[in-house]
Amino acid sequence: MTPIQDCIVNKNHRINPIWIMRQAGRYLPEFREIRAKNPDFIKLCLNENLSSEITLQPLKRFDLDAAIIFSDILMLPHGIGQEVKFKKNFGPELSLINFDKIKNTEEKDFINKLKPIYNLLKIVSSNQIVRNKKDLIGFIGAPWTLLVYMINRKSPKLKLNDNFFNDKMLIGNLLNIIEKFLKLHIKNQIESGATIIQIFDSWAGLVEEKHLSEYIYNPTLNLVNYIKSFNTPVICFPREIKNYKEFCSTVNPDVISIDYNVNPEEILKNINIPIQGGLDPRILLEDKETVKKHALKYLQIFKDVPYIFNLGHGILPETKPETVDYLVKFVKDAK
Ligand code: 1CP
């Protein structure tokens, strides 16, 4: 059994596995070299030779317990016919929604369009570094976070447009379509070799209390149950959600990934499923002593429960690879 799977099923597991959110890409010079030659990000994600190589890059450098596929949550809108472009120093830019086109997307066309992602999973899962020893994490964006990008057509940064909720009909219809294609995407990832699925709900924190069931709990629960039906563990990352306890008791993931604003001691008191993450990615921009101090804090707080070491959001592009090396070794050596 892999270290992460053991941590999930074995309540007495006491060795902390580690992987890092957004570990593939961004801060590695070998990624930047490939990226510089491939200006079209979507095309890069759909080049299985390069995307599998990028997925493996961090595992060649560091003793991480999982690979996460080099892909993006916005491959879903791309797959159902909403154009996605990534602009330098701006982020994603999506075209206007053509609802009829989206509604009429055929399942086989969607799978065909995203086939290189499934091929990437096949290539990586049969690679020596990963096979039988490490998890291969597939992922999706949660329905809410995808809805945010699809309607807002760019990153919401801190807040949604005032007219975001204007067209309730469109929102309801879109959520259903997103869920249908997310299930297809999940099924194909698992059948191609993903051993765990993580659901990224990066904008969960933007939902008001009164809308939580409609936009977060119900759609996420449907997907969590779907993933579990394959006997595959599911990790949820509802970033900045106000009530992690209520989220866990309602949605019931196998692992809850906490963001860096969460007080780890409070979480320990309130939640009794395996926990992942928490460390502020900005700590990795500091010196080794600071990294050690903060990593140790998480290890000590979670020493008696199953805990997967990770960050509280994606690693920052300016992080030095040496610092990641130091962190991984420190966590692996800590008993
Ligand atoms: O480890 C990895 O890097 C694996 C691949 C990965 C993952 C898990 C990428 C590659 N993206 C993601 C998830 C993702 N994509 C999320 C959820 C996690 C999070 O909150 O960070 C989100 C919100 C996106 C959407 C996205 N993709 C943005 C917008 C962020 C925002 O502020 O709104 C951006 C800029 C991207 C592009 C992207 N995706 C991945 C990479 C390496 C990049 C940068 C592309 C480049 O080089 O320009």
Residue whose CA is at the smallest distance from ligand 1 atom 11: 72
Which residues, in sequence order, are CB contacts of 275 under 8 Å at separation 6+?
A: 255, 256, 257, 258, 267, 268, 302, 305, 306, 307, 308
Dist CA 195 CA 216 (whole Å): 24
Convert the pLDDT of each residue in 196-225 to its tens digit: 999 999 999 999 999 999 999 999 999 999
pLDDT value for 159: 79
Pairing of strands 135-141, 91-94: unpaired
Question: How many helices (H) and strands (E) in the chain?
Answer: 15, 9
Please work out whether the CB of residue 39 comes within 6 Å of at least one atom of ligand 1. no
pLDDT value for 157: 87
In this structure, are residues 302 and 278 in contact, taking their beta carbons and an 8 Å threshold? no
pLDDT value for 265: 97
Residue whose CA is at the smallest distance from ligand 1 atom 44: 26
48 CA → ligand 1 middle, Å: 18
Q: Which of 72, 93, 145, 151 to mutate to test the pocket of ligand 1 (most atoms within 8 A of CB)?
A: 72
Residue whose CA is at the smallest distance from ligand 1 atom 2: 22
Q: Tell which residue, 60, 22, 19, has the closest CA to residue 318.
A: 22
Please work out whether the CB of residue 26 comes within 6 Å of at least one atom of ligand 1. yes
Residue whose CA is at the smallest distance from ligand 1 atom 24: 73
CATH class of residue range 26-275? alpha beta
9 CA → ligand 1 middle, Å: 29
Dist CA 67 CA 4 (whole Å): 11
pLDDT value for 160: 85
Please work out whether the CB of residue 257 comes within 6 Å of at least one atom of ligand 1. no
Dist CA 48 CA 123 (whole Å): 8
In this structure, are residues 75 and 139 in contact, taking their beta carbons and an 8 Å threshold? no
In this structure, are residues 55 and 124 in contact, taking their beta carbons and an 8 Å threshold? yes
Residues paired with 66 in a beta bridge: 135
pLDDT value for 132: 85
H helix or E strand, kind and range, residue 91: strand 91-94
* Block mean pLDDT (10 aa), the chain, length 335: 93 87 94 96 98 98 97 98 93 95 97 98 97 96 97 89 88 96 98 98 95 97 98 98 97 98 96 97 98 98 96 97 98 88
Q: Which of 18, 19, 21, 22 to mutate to test the pocket of ligand 1 (most atoms within 8 A of CB)?
A: 22
334 CA → ligand 1 middle, Å: 30
Token digits of residue 38: 């491939």
Residue whose CA is at the smallest distance from ligand 1 atom 21: 314
Please work out whether the CB of residue 181 comes within 6 Å of at least one atom of ligand 1. no
Please work out whether the CB of residue 202 comes within 6 Å of at least one atom of ligand 1. yes
Token digits of residue 294: 């903060």
pLDDT value for 280: 98
Please work out whether the CB of residue 86 comes within 6 Å of at least one atom of ligand 1. yes
pLDDT value for 120: 98
Convert the pLDDT of each residue in 265-289 to its tens digit: 999 999 999 999 999 999 999 999 9
* pTM for the whole structure: 0.96
Closest atom of ligand 1 relative to the 21 alpha carbon: 1
pLDDT value for 236: 98
Q: Tell which residue, 178, 179, 152, 177, has the closest CA to residue 165.
A: 152
Q: Tell which residue, 205, 66, 197, has the closest CA to residue 136.
A: 66
Q: Give the residue extent of every domain in the chain.
A: 26-275
pLDDT value for 14: 73
